[in-house]
Amino acid sequence: MGKVVDDGASAEFQAFFEAYYVELARLAHLLTGDADGADDLAADALMALWHRWERVRGADHPAAYARGVVANLARSRVRGAVRERRRIALFWAPLGAGDGHATDGPDVPAVVDVREALRRLPFRKRACVVLRHAFDLSERDTALVLGVSLGTVKSQTSRGAAELQRLLGP
């Protein structure tokens, strides 16, 4: 069993939870594309924060720390889903089928939902675009949340936005 948190810290965490839960769930939804799983992911992140609350509450930017936890959990979830889709595709692929991938070509419907377009971006590009544009974080704060360099945020955001523009059209 972990260390018992005092009443003051408990009330502080309660206030943090109430202030940031909706934002963290929205971030999870945008990063994973899974509306149903977003609440669970945000709850998992907040549970992890609760277990480390003494460290989190002393952090310079507890909200950024929380966003980082959500981003890491989302990354793990997305990677797991991709691995599962690959296993299913390999298992169910007809014998003699080519190795072409349905999503590789430019065969994109005329109107593509933004969420679908976001789902098509690799995780890091998606995370940078979402944090920069949907959450209005600075490049520096985005780098802090994702644990990457400022240059990575700049390049991934630029490339992600360009891919979105290509997917969504003019």
What's this model's pTM, rounded to 2 decimal places? 0.56
pLDDT value at residue 116: 81
35-44 pLDDT, tens per residue?
888 999 999 9
Per domain, the residue ranges of the chain are 1-95, 104-170
pLDDT value at residue 57: 86
Q: Of 135, 139, 166, 112, give the one whose Cα is nearest residue 63.
A: 135
With respect to CATH, is domain 104-170 assigned 1.10.287.130? no
124-139 pLDDT, tens per residue?
999 999 889 888 889 9
Instruction: Give dist(CA 112, CA 116) in Å, integer.
Output: 7
Give the CB-side neighbour count of residue 145, counting CA atoms within 13 A. 28
pLDDT value at residue 9: 85
> pLDDT grade, residue 75 (50/70/90)?
confident
pLDDT value at residue 167: 84
Q: How far is CA 99 from CA 81, 82, 107, in A?
A: 20, 17, 16
